[in-house]
Amino acid sequence: MALTALRYTAALAQLLASSLALSQVTPANSALNYPVKPVRVVIPYAPGGGVDIVGRLTGAKLGEEYKQQFIADNRMGGGGIVGNDIVAKAPADGYTLLAMNSALTYLPALYPKIPYVTLREFAPITLIGVTPSVLVVNPAVPAKSTRELIALMKAKPGQINYAAGVGGTLHLAVALFEDMAGVKGTLIPYKGGGPALIDTVSGQVQMMIVPVVSAIGHIKSNRLRALGVSGARRSPMLPDVPTIADTGVPGYEYITWYGLLAPAATPRPIIARLNQSVARALAGAELRERFAQQGVEVEASTPEQFTALLQKELPRWAQIIKAAKIQGE
């Protein structure tokens, strides 16, 4: 009887020890082994675009570090809403990530019935890069600077036209410019940036805000005149072109950013580990060079900094879109 009791006590002690060990498998400990299977990176746009290229290149570098596949999964639809919603509703275990751009912050204002709440359903991991744009005019426009363009638009309200896709990033960039400069132009709507740029070069349209990488060839050949870059600092690709903020619209800043996010409840240690891994990848020459070929400037961040950016941009775009009466197509 004593022996049986002793065996029972030993078994109980072993069970308690096992339970204690299991209780110590914390999110931090599980993050040390992450990932143990392939990770899906949802890209809510078609292959070949900016988000796709940035997401695939970043995923490939993560795969090299973790010796695990990071599989790009293009889920198009709704201007990005379909792919975003897939990630918002995915298990929060670190095995479904979202590669996304600035559209994440203006889609809710364009589409009020969007099926997710951005700040509630996504955990920002890190910014990856930014693409600056540039305010350009056809050389026939008698404006040599941003200030001169503003003066011209004030003298001729509604008579200066610009090219952009309705509700797209470049449309919002001009809407922000109009709001902050106190001017009004006339939108000439286009389905794509390529045709819009071609018509601005030909003179059928007078101005547009366009990614630097798309316009630089036309600028250098004097088929377009660059008045100001849209970011907070000059672009390395156009070092002689001042910012819009420094030449007529103080505080103006518009960039297309790219970032990596996860479902909101993803364990913080996994978020932190991914953040550190992306930072290491972005510090290397290979990714910087590959991004530069696409006109993307490396821009890493902490999860907190990325969250602060979303908190700043969501209400800003809501105000601009409402004031300009822009509706999603």
* Span 241-261, pLDDT tens digits: 999 999 999 999 999 999 999
CA dihedral sign, ordered 91, 96, 97, 103: negative
Please give the tally of structural domains in the chain: 2
Residue that terminates a domain, selected from 220, 247, 274: 247
Low-confidence spans in the chain with pLDDT less than 70: 1-30, 329
Same domain membership, residue 151 and residue 215 = yes
Task: Give the chain's mean pLDDT.
Answer: 91
Q: State the residue range of the domain holding 80.
A: 38-131+256-324
Can you tell me the distance from the alpha carbon of 75 to that of 193, in angstroms, rounded to the nearest whole number?
21
Residue that terminates a domain, selected from 247, 279, 303: 247
Same domain membership, residue 265 and residue 124 = yes
Same domain membership, residue 44 and residue 103 = yes
**pLDDT number for residue 166:** 87
**pLDDT number for residue 26:** 53
Can you tell me the distance from the alpha carbon of 56 to that of 236, in angstroms, rounded to the nearest whole number?
24
| CATH of residue 272 | 3.40.190.150
Kindly report the backbone phi and psi dihedral angles of residue 319, in degrees, each rounded to the nearest multiple of 5, phi listed first.
Answer: -70, -45
**pLDDT number for residue 2:** 45
**pLDDT number for residue 3:** 41
DSSP, residue by residue, 91-142 = -SSSSEEEEEETHHHHHHHH-TT-SS-HHHHEEEEEEEEEEEEEEEE-TTSS
| CATH of residue 217 | 3.40.190.10
Same domain membership, residue 158 and residue 64 = no
**pLDDT number for residue 146:** 97
The residue type at 118: T
pTM for this predicted structure: 0.86
- Torsion of the alpha carbons at 90, 94, 96 and 101, rounded to the nearest 10: 110
**pLDDT number for residue 21:** 46
Q: Per DSSP, what are the bridge partners of residue 211?
A: 133
